Structure 1
């Protein structure tokens, strides 16, 4: 049986991680879902995209002071490199990731 990675293990890796704090009942979150899928597919192994359901992960949500959905955070080696609340265009996500890769070279 494969061991499930913890949130901290995921965000502390070498690969940047885009975290989507969302809620099932949130309209803008539903709108973002296909955009995130497309972004993840396009970026391949350059980024890892994970979704955190705020209703099922209250402690984690509170520890990052997430109050509105969707909230996105881009982590690299455990550090928050970017944070955004509300919907975002795929192009902006690409720019943020590209900026990060130039900073971390």
Structure 2
């Protein structure tokens, strides 16, 4: 998973067909567990660009996308926000959410 600065996040989200932006803070215990689930899920979706960012350093991103808490994963299709995930229930759940993102594009 790529860790990018604010300037590069916007570019990456706009340039990729599918992007998943994982937002965390380093002192969040739940974020550590969610991050491991995202790492596993990333291996299952090579067509999705996974990006991670410490929300402490990009508060404007939190405002722009109305991020309410961490961990949070923002799912994008062609630069457009499609879904926000706050409850990282399991790897199968994340797998299903990413499948929805990709299937919606093929319909």
| Pair in the same fold by TM > 0.5 | yes
TM-score range, shorter chain: 0.7 to 0.9
User: Where do 4+ consecutive residues of structure 1 move more than 6 Å?
Assistant: none
Task: Determine which structure has more spread, i.e. the larger CA radius of gyration.
Answer: 1
What is the TM-score of this pair, normalised by structure 2?
A: 0.82
Q: How do residues 13-24 of structure 1 correspond to structure 2 at under 5 angstroms?
A: 13-24=15-26
Aligned mates of 1:88, 1:53 — CA distance in 2: 21
* Greater percentage in helix: 2
Where do 5+ consecutive residues of structure 2 fail to align?
none
How many residues of Structure 1 are paired with residues of Structure 2 in the alignment? Answer: 101
Residue 76 (structure 1) aligns with: 77
Q: Which residue of 41, 44, 51 corresponds with 1:42?
A: 44
Aligned mates of 1:64, 1:18 — CA distance in 2: 13
Aligned mates of 2:84, 2:27 — CA distance in 1: 22
Whether the 8 Å CA contact 1:15–1:47 is kept in 2: the answer is yes
Deviation at 1:53, TM superposition (A): 0.6
Residue 98 (structure 2) aligns with: 97
Tell me the C-alpha RMSD between the 2 structures: 1.8
What is the TM-score of this pair, normalised by structure 1?
A: 0.84
Deviation at 1:37, TM superposition (A): 1.0
